Structure formats: structure tokens, C-alpha cells
Amino acid sequence: MLAVAQFHAPLPLTNKIQRYDWGSVDAIPNLLSAEPDGEPQAEMWLGAHASAPSVSRILRDGAGTGDDAADEVALDRLVREAPVQTLGHRVAEQFGPRLPYLLKVLAARKALSLQVHPSPRQAREGFARENKAGMGLNSPKRSFKDDQHKPEMIVALSQFEGLAGFRTPRIILDVLDGLSGKMVDAVRTALLHDRSHDGMREAFNHLLSARADEACAADIQDTLDSVRARLAAGSPFERADRTVIDLAEQHPGDPGAIASLMLNRFSLEPGEAAFTPAGVVHAYLSGLGIEIMASSDNVLRAGLTTKLVDEENLVHCTSFAPQQPSAPEITTSGSRGQVHTYRVPVTEFALTTADVDPTEPVALPATGPRILLCLDGELELAADRSEAGPQRLAQGDSVFVPHDAGNLELSGAGHAVCAWVP
């Protein structure tokens, strides 16, 4: 059995590193004060998703206090076995015995796949459908890894670049004006015929289906030649044109590069954030950030990838309404405005960042399951129900704070981020 008293204190975490090929070689090692190993480290997952849960050392009840009295326990198991202590009654009743959010450090050296996430209903139906078909959870043909939706928010730690949401048909036609290529012509024709959501769907479908055409790579090259010519002549769409060229170099022959012309480009400075709800086509291009999302791994890919592009499910889950990247609601507190809380219209997560200095401790969210990550400096985290006293956190250290730990206060000098359930 697990020792009940330990739920009154923060639990140090060991977290899984995901080594996707688009990841930075050194950004996450630098955060963790570790030597890079020469291989990409794209994401660090802090949470209880079954595919890569964080792990903590947990005391067994009545087993003393030595190292041999503790077991390494995955966070998903910990929450399942002690939902009230870890989550609190409110969160456990709302979401069941599961941590409803997943926190990540995301370090992109080059573009992630062009993708969209399903709504709650679409996730449940898709997961059940693939289960019924006998598809294994690790099958490369599977689109739905779980039955949860995946709204997500990125908070930039460095300058951060991305694509999100469709431009209006009028702007897309302006951007395509003068460019050559069969794919571009098909998009242009569809939008000139119908500028409604149906026309946008048809235009995007032309790009999705083009990857099956043997002439796709040559067609993309034709378009790239015209983009380069426009740049040389002083393009009015320089940023969009350079994005297409960069993506085509990273993913040769992939029509996702051309699809970027239909999407809004955005940039975030450190501290700025973007929210991506269900149905919005998006891709992160580069930068270091803190990402928080509903605890899901459901990704429907549209391009810029060697993985499955499931056209039917992708189109079914995509909103073709033009929309700009969405900004979260940000509130500030503290005498210096040093605490920022990011809220979005979902119930699974919120995020608080704190710039702590020795003159003013910071109070953090006081209830529910919390995950805290020290970004730099030396901090002390005090939980009012812990008998062990404040816990020291250095750069890269992270803890899971159970609901039963009670109120939290952060002191010292440094920066931290805290995930919680609103």
C-alpha cells in the first residue's frame, strides 16, 4: 500500500523525453543542466498519459524511510490508486481517476507536422471505431490513440514561430496570385467557384490528395520556382513565401509546404501564448515553449510528415472557417506583476508562470493536482500540510503536488511554471 502521509508533500518527478526528428539537440538538455547527446530531444512530458507517464519514488506504508522503502511508481498508477488524495473530490468527480492535463516542454528545431485535433465526440467515436476494427494501439494505421480531445496552449520561452487557422478565401487568392503549379491552380479554382466553407474544404482536399500523384514533387518544384521569382522581384508576401521554401526544404515533395499558403503565420515573443482548439489546422515551426493540453495523444496529420495522413478523418475533424490564432486570457498579480495566469475556454487545464525574487514569495493554486517545473534559478516550494518543510528546486527540477498537500508558496529567486485544473 502507498503511504498516505506522502500525499501531503510535493513528489519529485522523472519525466520522459520524446526524441522526434524535428526536435532541438540542446534546448531540453540545457534546461535540465545535462550534456546533449547529439540526438534530437523534441519534448519532455510531465504528466500521467499512459504512453509516457512521469515517475516518482513513493513510500510503501509502514516500510520506514530508506531508499529500500520506496518504489518507483508511474503517475497514472498513482492517480488511479489514490484519486481523492491526488486530484481532490472536485477533479476526481469531473474527470474520473485520471490527471486531465499533460504538460510538455517543446523544443522545435524545425517544423512539426501540419495537424488537427478532434473534438470530444469525434475522439470518442474514432477511438471506439478503431478499437472495434481490431486495430492495435501502436498500429501505424491508427489515428485515434485515446478517447480524449486535445485542445492545447503554447507559452513561448524563446521566440516561437507557427501556423494556425485558415486565412480568408480572399487573402488566400491574393497570396496565390501569380504562382504556378497544378495544386495552386486547383486551390485557386475551388475558391473562385465557392468561397464558403465547402470551397475551402475542396481546396484543402486537393492538397491532401496530391501526395498520391506521381507528379507531386515536380508540381511543388514548379510552385517553388515561381515563389522564388516573386521573392526576387520584391514579394508583397515575403513571410509566406519564405515559409513555403523553408518547409519544402525540410520536407521535400510534401504538399504540406504549399498548404502553408492557406494558413495564418504567427510569432510569439517570450511570455506570449497561443491557444489551439479542436478542429484548427496548425503546425509549430520553431522555438522553445511550455505546452499544456488535455491529456491526449490524438493527432490527425495533414502533411509535413512521414507518418499517416488520414484524409477522411482529418477532413471530418477540421473546421474550415477562417480564423486567426487565438490568444488566451492572461491575468497578472504580485506587486511587480510577476505572476501570469493563462486561461482558455476548456475545463482541463490552466497555467501559471512566476518570476520569483527573495523579497516576495508567490502563492500558487491551492487545490487540485498541480505540476511545477523550475525553469531557472534556485527556489523553495512549501506545502502547508507537509511535515518535511520547504522543498528545494533547481533548474529543470519538477514535482507533482497532490491535492492533499494544500496551499503552496514559492520563494527564492528564479522562474517556474505551474499546471493546474481551474
Q: In this structure, are residues 410 and 379 in contact, taking their beta carbons and an 8 Å threshold?
A: yes
> Between 182-193 and 197-210, two packed helices, what is the crossing angle to 10 degrees?
170
How far is Cα 339 from Cα 357, in angstroms, rounded to an integer?
11
Kindly tell me the burial class for residue 134, based on how many C-beta atoms sit within 10 Å of its own C-beta (0-12, 13-18, 19 or more).
Answer: exposed
Q: Is 301 a catalytic residue?
A: yes
Grid coordinates of 28:
531540453
List of residues 6+ apart from 94 with CB closer than 8 A: 100, 347
CA angle centred on 121, ends 118 and 123, rounded to 5°: 45
Grid coordinates of 200:
475551402
Q: Where are the alpha helices (DSSP H) in 151-215?
A: 169-176, 182-193, 197-210
CA angle centred on 132, ends 129 and 135, rounded to 5°: 90
Residue the block writes with cell 510569439: 268
- Taking Cα atoms as reference points, which of 340, 337, 363 lies closest to residue 353? 340
Q: In this structure, are residues 264 and 325 in contact, taking their beta carbons and an 8 Å threshold?
A: yes
Residue the block writes with cell 516500510: 63
CA angle centred on 185, ends 180 and 188, rounded to 5°: 120
How far is Cα 114 from Cα 210, in angstroms, rounded to an integer?
15
| DSSP state for residue 60 in the 8-state scheme | B
What count of other Cβ atoms lies within 10 Å of the Cβ of residue 207?
24
How far is Cα 400 from Cα 73, in angstroms, rounded to an integer?
12
Q: In this structure, are residues 379 and 416 in contact, taking their beta carbons and an 8 Å threshold?
A: yes
Q: Could you say which of 109, 167, 188, 301 is catalytic?
A: 301
CA angle centred on 149, ends 155 and 145, rounded to 5°: 105
Active site residues: 301
